[in-house]
Chain A
């Protein structure tokens, strides 16, 4: 079973601060995805990274895939109250018995105070 350790589990910050969320594994993934989930709704895809070392930017959000495709990070610059939510990382199994599977981290609950 592939595991994806996401940290921190909770993050409470003031508007304007920067933050980073990490996802780490000992397994190699063919891609790494980040989702955001609002209460009462299903997760919504933010970004997918595929190549080792890849960096993608989405406005104030920066996503990075580790060189070995085992870890990823989400960095938010100048957080705003609208960024509040549950952030989830997910790794797509690369092969063998993991091919076809999708493994999620435990999630990070982010609260940004005005």
Chain B
């Protein structure tokens, strides 16, 4: 089954404790992206990657890191999480970074930072 998987689905952590949220897709998609979703703000793009070893900042990259060493994986790293990073996070992939850029989303990761 074609899908985007994220782990963990739920995470409660404390301020400053480094964490990684994994994302994997099995559709051989070139483009991958991370978003956070907050009430009233919609989805905001954190980072995106148009291909292996190519990553770029989205609109809200502060406090986050990503890497794209393999085509299928695009982990999101929070080196020192803070309470304002409490949010619902989505990973997504797209066949290409071209005109259409249609996103296939994972199920989401709900992160709480205390």
Chain A residues within CB distance 8 Å of chain B = 1, 6, 9, 30-31, 33, 35, 40-45, 48, 50, 88, 90, 92, 100-107
Contact = CB atoms under 8 A, between A and B. Distances in A.
B42 A33 contact: no
Interface string B97-114: 101111111111000000
Contact of B48 (A6, A41, A101, A106): A101
Interface of B: 4, 31, 33, 35, 40-45, 48, 50, 56, 58-59, 90, 92, 97, 99-108
A43 B48 contact: no
Contacts of B40: 9, 106
A1 to B, nearest CB: 6
A6 B105 contact: no
Given A42-B108, A88-B42, A107-B42, A101 B59 contact: yes
Given A30-B99, A31-B100, A102-B45, A42 B105 contact: yes
Contacts of A9: 40
A92 B99 CA distance: 7
B44 to A, nearest CB: 7
Contacts of A107: 42-43
Nearest to A89: B42
A6 B59 CA distance: 18
6 contacts: A33-B100, A35-B103, A42-B90, A88-B43, A101-B56, A103-B45
A100 B102 contact: no
Given A92-B99, A106-B40, A101 B45 contact: yes
Nearest to B49: A100
B54 to A, nearest CB: 9
Given A101-B45, A102-B45, A33 B102 contact: yes
Given A102-B45, A102-B101, 18 more contacts: A35-B103, A41-B107, A42-B108, A43-B43, A43-B103, A45-B102, A48-B100, A48-B102, A88-B42, A88-B43, A92-B99, A92-B100, A100-B48, A100-B50, A101-B45, A101-B48, A104-B42, A105-B42
